[in-house]
Amino acid sequence: MSRLTFRSTKGHWMTNLSRPRSHRPTGLFVPPSPPLDPEKIKELQRFITLSKKLIVMTGAGISTESGIPDYRSEKVGLYARTDRRPIQHIDFIRSAPVRQRYWARNFVGWPQFSSHQPNPAHWALSNWEKLGKLHWLVTQNVDALHSKAGNRRLTELHGCMHRVLCLNCGEQTPRRVLQERFQVLNPSWSAEAQGVAPDGDVFLTEEQVRSFQVPSCDRCGGPLKPDVVFFGDTVKPDKVDFVHRRVKEADSLLVVGSSLQVPDSISVAGALACFTGCTLATGSSLPPGRRSSQSPS
């Protein structure tokens, strides 16, 4: 596991990693998988060729080769490597100390998290869109890697870590702008952390967190939150309705890197099964009762 140090030196914030950083895909968080079956590859190719209006849904598994861990993979997922669990929506909303701890950890992890780049799977989906093969892309991920790859026919089901919103007035701010405000408020603060979570969070001690200063909304003074759906929260109904309308227009679904254990993703997959009965899962398994043509895992 890499060690990340964040400190202020003569007014300049420095980030150091104990191992060399690289923008190349990394296998550190990629779970083991069996060799590719040529017949399954042909089956997938036939599926894509025959699809006229293809919906693709992606989960955390598509980003592991970019160096971002997922939650559930054996041995390499966050749940397997640590006893840490993601922050709960209700705790963030109700508790100022919880928000302080979250933002301190996120501040340290942001330079590394925001530097991750798309891997070949992201670029392939972007190319499908350019070729007119992709009708719509729905992602559960909050890492913005699909946007970085150029996808525009995109719904970020759970939001995006690159945006911040005010819980009072709803004002949106780019996350990079908030990083600058953190630096101004914490000129001599320093911290050392180990490990990075799928949402850019890192792990700090309570002593490190206690002195961290958190800015408020520039517009109304309200508390700030990343524009993402935390665990225990739900996706806005209008976003779900929008995705369901795209699903009604589709004739097929390709699931990439998702276990479909999140209710919102199950809802989308189930909606397509109800409308078309032509569903395919790749890199995951559909829940029992879903009709599917299985591709390589």
Binding residues for Zn(2+): 166, 169, 217, 220
- Rounded distance between C-alpha atoms, residue 182 and residue 212, angstroms: 9
Query: What is the DSSP secondary-structure string of 146-208?
Result: HHHHT--SEEETTEEEEEEEETTT--EEEHHHHHHHHHHH-TT--EEEE-B-TTS-B---HHH
Query: Annotated catalytic, 158?
Result: yes
AA identity, residue 205 = T
Active-site annotation holder among 135, 158, 162, 244: 158
Helices then strands, counting H and E runs in the chain, come out as 10, 12
The vertex-90 CA angle with 87 and 94, nearest 5°, equals: 110
SS3 243: helix
Going by C-alpha positions, the residue among 63, 235, 82 that lies closest to residue 141 is 63
Instruction: Provide the 10 A C-beta neighbour count for residue 263.
Output: 10
Going by C-alpha positions, the residue among 212, 193, 261, 227 that lies closest to residue 57 is 261
Going by C-alpha positions, the residue among 213, 209, 201 that lies closest to residue 112 is 201
Sheet strand arrangement including 159-166: 172-174, 159-166, 224-228
Q: What are the binding residues?
A: 166, 169, 217, 220
SS3 37: coil
Which residues pair with residue 255 across a beta bridge? 57, 281
Catalytic residues: 158
